[in-house]
Chain A
């Protein structure tokens, strides 16, 4: 069955370190997204991609970068981790089917920056 996976599921890192969160989908979807969710808040869009070599900034992109070298993967990199980036990170993918914008979400990565 097709799926979307994230790794690691939990990560503790120190301030200033570079961290990369992996996202892999086997839906063959063109669209992929990264969100962060903080306690008591909804999800906020960090970066998104509509296809290979396409990347776009979301509403909270500062301090994050992504690259899309193939259809299946969209890794999220924190260039220099900060305590404010402690959060739960969700990756999602979607492929237009008719008029549907249904996104499929991964299980999330809980990142703690100490």
Chain B
């Protein structure tokens, strides 16, 4: 399974765009990149998934360069409710391997 590396923590002010980058140098050809969000005392929640280039949904964008060795989750105009832990996962089947994630704190 591909190992991922992401910052342990990040702070940002309300209203700003936040970019969280994940490194996955050993990603395999069949692997997808998936991001989850977890609030305290809750289970993780799916945010977005991609294979290459750019994916956008109603809450986030995912940028994946051509070599796929990294990816960037972009959260537009964050609010206090975006304070959470964000996990980057890489895998090619239904199993997920969670790292320790990035603890994002939004400052008023």
Contact = CB atoms under 8 A, between A and B. Distances in A.
Contact of A108 (B32, B41, B45, B97): B41
A9 to B, nearest CB: 10
Size class of the B contact interface (CB-based, 8 Å): 20 to 34
A35 B41 CA distance: 14
A45 interface: yes
Interface stretch (A14-22, A68-76, A78-86, A99-107): A99-107
A41 B100 contact: yes
B63 interface: no
Interface string B79-108: 000000001000101111111110000000
A34 to B, nearest CB: 12
Contacts of A102: 34, 46, 49
Interface of B: 32, 34, 41-46, 49, 51, 87, 91, 93-101
Interface of A: 31, 33, 35, 40-45, 48, 50, 58-59, 90, 92, 94, 96, 99-108
